[in-house]
Each structure stands twice: as structure tokens, then as C-alpha cells.
Structure 1
Amino acid sequence: MAVVYIALGSNLNEPAEQLNTAVKAIAALPHTSVEKVSSYYGSKPMGPQDQPDYVNAVLQIQTELSPPALLDELQRIENEQGRVRLRRWGERTLDLDILLYDNLKMQSERLTIPHYDMQNREFVIVPLAEIAPERILPDGKTVAELMQNFIHHQMTVIAPSRS
């Protein structure tokens, strides 16, 4: 079983409920179990500011699904929850991104692991640090080390961790 971290984000149609539904859908995937769920955090949009604030979280799962198969399942869940891509970094009902998959490094047309820009996103690193601060990344840094860049983050806890 691979240990995988997935970022969740939503800013449309009851965002916290969108994340709750996604967590349940991921837990129902074959050969997959949800191990930890971070707190839900409110954050400002990364892209255009003329959209609602986001709710973000990170999950730790264990799965036997390969990275491409997991990506397919996550995109299916996004679509089932009404995901529409109107503009880059724009509003969405649900966004699911594979951050880390064991210690795998891979790059394909569809998928880059570790996530290509996770280290620069407070809405990823803060919830990841909550559930896996000692996690060593493929480059040798720990999540706790990355968290040092976000000590003064502007996010608020909307719902506490359920782990």
C-alpha cells in the first residue's frame, strides 16, 4: 500500500460540504483507506480575487491504486461533484490534487509527483504540516521545514481535524 497525500479545495456550492463528500468518495475507492484528514482551512483565492474564499484540506490515504489510476478516480470524483474549469485558478466546486505518492518522483503529461508547486502554497503546506510534519519529501526536506515559510499564514480553521 502506498501512502499518498491529496489536497482538497472548493469555493462553490457549500465548500465544506463539497470536501466532506469528496472525503467519503475517496474512502470508498477500491483498495484505499483514509488515514488522516487535516482541519478545514479558509483561504483567499490564489488566482483572480473576484471569487469566493476557498476551503482547503489535506488527506493522508493508503492505496493500492497506481498514480494514473488514482488520478482517474480523483478526476471522476471532481466531475461527479460538478467540477467545471472556467478559468485558470478560478472558482470550482472541487479540486483534488495528488501531492505526494510514497517517495515517488514522476512527471508525465497528466501528472507530476511531487505536486509541482506545493512548497509555495500555504493552503497546501499548512494542512499537510498539521497531519504529517515529519514527512520527508523526495528532496530530503521535511514538511515541518517547509512550514517555516508559512508561520504567519492568513488562513483560519473552519473545522478541526477529524483524525
Structure 2
Amino acid sequence: MAGRPDLYAVALGSNRRHGRHGAPERVVAAAIAAMADAGLTILAVSPTLTTPPIGPSIRRFANAAALIETALPPAALLARLKTIERDFGRRRGQRWGARVIDLDIILWSGGLWASPTLSIPHRAFCTRDFVLFPLERIAPDWIDPLGNRSIRQLAARLRRRRPVDRPATRP
């Protein structure tokens, strides 16, 4: 018997073309379809943003967020998302380097989760505009269980702190 479904916020990012899906924006859309094909219920998807890279990559990223529902516990969902990444040709490489697809669990309706391979909430999500701005479009009232602030509040704080020389396309 399956457990009750939980809600998860998943961040998606791509900055490499894919042989079948094309440009990064289309890779993000295909990854959302792959999540649905993998048995995850897609409840909402943000618009896709184009953002500058962090770290050594020089290619701009296509970023989005999705709210999904599944009875899978966090570790099993992570394994399913990593399978999708591998199916898209994702290989482990340089941190923050170019990637065909990145799928990260950001938040979980169960609150906090910690294991050697997964921390929920995602450790750096509240400092990343490319995560917060898409998430704000689909889950503005979701409360960060660590900081006790809504996604809307976290995004507003980030907008106030954002350096002028790092523009991002906002939805």
C-alpha cells in the first residue's frame, strides 16, 4: 500500500544543448515531461528564466521550478531524479560546470530531511535567484522550515541584496 503523497519543489536547470531536445529551454521542458513519465504528478511549472552562470561555466542557464506530488520518500525521489539526469546524458563533472540537466529537490512538505546524499531544504536555495524567482511564481507562500520565511519573502530579500552587475531575466 502506497503512503500518502507528499509535495516537493524541484529546481531544474540546463545550459547545454541536447541532441534530441535541443536548446536548454527545451531540455527543461523535456525533463518536466520525463518526470511525469516517471510517475511523478506535476502540479505546477514556473516560466523558464534565462540566468547568468555561477562558477566556471560561461553558458547562460535556463532555469525553472516544478511542484510535484508523489508518495516516494525523499531518498527514493532523489534516485528517480538522478536516473532522469543520467537518461539525459548528465555526467558528474566540474562543480558548477556546463550541464545538460540538473534536477534538485529544494523543499518537501514533510519539512526537513538530512542524509549523506540529500539535504532538504537545499542548502543554498535561499541565496539563489535562479531557484527562488521561478519558485516564487508557483509556491510564493511555501515556508522555508529553517528560516520560517515564505518563498515570496526570501525572493524579496534577495532582490534587495542583488548586485547591480548581475542581471537576470525575471518572469
| TM norm structure 2 | 0.86
1:75 to 2:82 alignment: yes
CA contact (8 A) 2:10 2:103 kept: yes
Number of residues paired by the alignment? Answer: 156
Deviations 1:43-65 (A, max 9, x none): 0111114x210000000011111
Deviations 1:50-99 (A, max 9, x none): x2100000000111111111101100000010102220110000000000
CA contact (8 A) 2:125 2:131 kept: yes
The amino acid across from 1:127 in the alignment is P
Stretch deviating more after TM superposition (4-13 or 80-89): 80-89
The offset of 1:28, in angstroms, is 1.7
CA contact (8 A) 1:8 1:58 kept: yes
1:1-163 alignment runs, 5 A limit: 1-13=5-17, 14-30=23-39, 32-49=40-57, 51-139=58-146, 140-151=148-159, 154-156=167-169
Give the Cα separation in 2 of the matches to 1:143 and 1:68: 23
The one of the two structures with greater contact order (alpha-carbon pairs below 8 A, sep at least 6) is 1
CA contact (8 A) 1:37 1:57 kept: yes
5+ unaligned residues in a row in structure 1: which ranges? none
Name the SS for the 1:98 alignment partner: strand
- Superposed structure 1 runs of 4+ greater than 2 Å apart: 149-154
Give the Cα separation in 2 of the matches to 1:156 and 1:103: 31
The amino acid across from 1:22 in the alignment is A
Which is greater in Rg? 2
Give the Cα separation in 1 of the matches to 2:139 and 2:111: 17
The offset of 1:149, in angstroms, is 2.4
Name the SS for the 2:149 alignment partner: coil
Give the Cα separation in 2 of the matches to 1:6 and 1:46: 19
**By percentage of residues, which structure has more strand?**
1
Give the Cα separation in 2 of the matches to 1:35 and 1:150: 26
